[in-house]
Structure 1
């Protein structure tokens, strides 16, 4: 059963579930224990292990004239315990639209707002400091939050200039946490060097059950240096959905309280001790509710993680 079919069956109890995501959530997560949270390394603050990203379909819907679906998605995340919202100025209208929705719904102060900084380089290849400052100020206006919880240098863009700006903003108390991101394997070496050289609070990186290179060096380094990890693309974008299409979820997934493929993939990601939060992007409230189900119940232990890997590799 793929994700679409599973969620259709979950909604078959009645049309009321379409308009009341809490009912769907209660049907799948009740009795599975408290919300799973992970500490930000070195801080007295914990975050739910599942949040929301705003690239991909979220970005496309944000650019349309009807953002009602995104209102429902943000509401569903918060209603079911999520707080982390990850965005970027480069994700089209996502940052602006989400900020407006959060203010309208009174959610701004309930969100852990994570955005990014990366301005186009000047002729010589360096980022324009004034343009970087302007982009950050625009993010403050869109988020409507002071301070912003986290700003990261997107895809390691001119780290000396842009991370330098973020360090000054953190020192001034305008940003709580700072970091860098990449989802490009050729940049992993540079990422490691920045992790060693700079006082980072977070990194953002791609990670999925079939994309585990970062387990070799980057995750151990994050643990050694006390750096939090936001995970992007935990479904391999669409790669994993294509792999499990028309495949039944194994019965033994119940041993770690996964009731859908989405939860299977997210619980794998969240079970790595270096991971702080997984932030899959979605513009559909049903998917958001299903994703949040992965933040409840049990997580797989190492033996189960290996079984999960073998199963996916066998498909």
Structure 2
């Protein structure tokens, strides 16, 4: 079994073949089925692996390496309705991404998820007009109306901003609304918001070594019919540091995982409450590798426990 580094090196060396058939990178050249998840309360399906735009994506967007990001979007769009997650708070990511998907002509093939977060002034409430201006910029960037999903970023003044999104949804300008956080200090507030408001989605952190969401928030999402987007499925860099120099166990092939990235992602999306994971990347070969986790089999509960035990033992 190859490490992610070895797998990607081999994939890069096979550049001509990959240009003709990118699926070689995704699934060891096997015709594996695409894994999708249905958005709760609808019949709409999305692939279980999408793309985020924080971290290196943000850096590359700000540095102007647009051709590289175009290739990332080209790969993403090959799986219809794949989730792309962005935010005004991610520097140039939202603006650059909007321009690129329009240049490529793929904006309607992507499930576009962005965010709203206007900071309260003077310790008061977020300014409604400023929030609406931020929303209009998001519409201008992607030129997509309605936008698929807008969430209140990091639970910013939800009592002002969730109602604004509700108004936008009632007007038909957005299809789904939600809230996000990846901060443990906000988990209790997230529970309160899920109880108080009718949400379509939440966006949270979850990884093979971070199970906090399973305790209370995931059960609430399941019971209330709320979709879940997972951020930081690699623990940002934490999991990569843990497996650096180590090989993927051979038994991972039982659920069609060929790299550490696919190993970690398949564990995350095998939780049935998860709608999609959106790992951020700016590299086409990493995008292809990640998308391989949306193909083939997923681990069952017994295998999930084995995976956790293995990572804990490292």
Q: How would you bin the TM-score normalised by the shorter chain?
A: over 0.9
The alpha carbon displacement at 1:29 in A equals 4.9
Secondary structure, aligned partner of 1:179: strand
CA contact under 8 A between 1:50 and 1:82: conserved in structure 2? no
CA contact under 8 A between 1:80 and 1:289: conserved in structure 2? no
The alpha carbon displacement at 1:67 in A equals 1.1
Residue in 2 that maps onto 1:3:
4
Q: 1:73 to 1:21 in 2, by over 3 A?
A: farther
The alpha carbon displacement at 1:17 in A equals 4.5
Q: Normalised by the size of structure 2, how large is the TM-score?
A: 0.96
Residue in 2 that maps onto 1:24:
24
The answer to whether structure 1 residue 139 and structure 2 residue 138 are counterparts is yes
Counterparts of 2:237 and 2:268, CA distance in 1: 16
Unaligned runs of 5+ in 1: none
CA contact under 8 A between 2:230 and 2:274: conserved in structure 1? yes
Counterparts of 1:74 and 1:198, CA distance in 2: 33
Alignment coverage as a number of residue pairs = 313
Q: 1:303 to 1:84 in 2, by over 3 A?
A: same
Counterparts of 1:238 and 1:125, CA distance in 2: 36
1:287-315 Cα shifts (integer Å, max 9, x gaps)? 00011100010000000000000000000
Counterparts of 2:43 and 2:279, CA distance in 1: 25
CA contact under 8 A between 1:29 and 1:293: conserved in structure 2? no
Secondary structure, aligned partner of 1:231: strand
Residue in 2 that maps onto 1:203:
202
Question: Is the deviation greater in 228-237 or in 2-11?
Answer: 2-11
The answer to whether structure 1 residue 180 and structure 2 residue 179 are counterparts is yes
The answer to whether structure 1 residue 307 and structure 2 residue 284 are counterparts is no
Q: Normalised by the size of structure 1, how large is the TM-score?
A: 0.96
Superposition pairs of residues 193-232 of structure 1, within 5 angstroms: 193-232=192-231
Residue in 2 that maps onto 1:130:
129
Residue in 2 that maps onto 1:113:
112
Counterparts of 2:97 and 2:29, CA distance in 1: 26
Counterparts of 1:303 and 1:29, CA distance in 2: 27
Counterparts of 1:27 and 1:55, CA distance in 2: 26
Secondary structure, aligned partner of 1:165: helix
Superposition pairs of residues 1-315 of structure 1, within 5 angstroms: 2-12=3-13, 14-17=14-17, 19=19, 22=22, 24-25=24-25, 28-32=28-32, 34-81=33-80, 83-315=82-314
Counterparts of 1:168 and 1:27, CA distance in 2: 43
Q: 1:258 to 1:230 in 2, by over 3 A?
A: same
Cα RMSD (Å): 1.4
Secondary structure, aligned partner of 2:22: helix
CA contact under 8 A between 1:73 and 1:288: conserved in structure 2? yes
CA contact under 8 A between 2:248 and 2:260: conserved in structure 1? yes
Unaligned runs of 5+ in 2: none
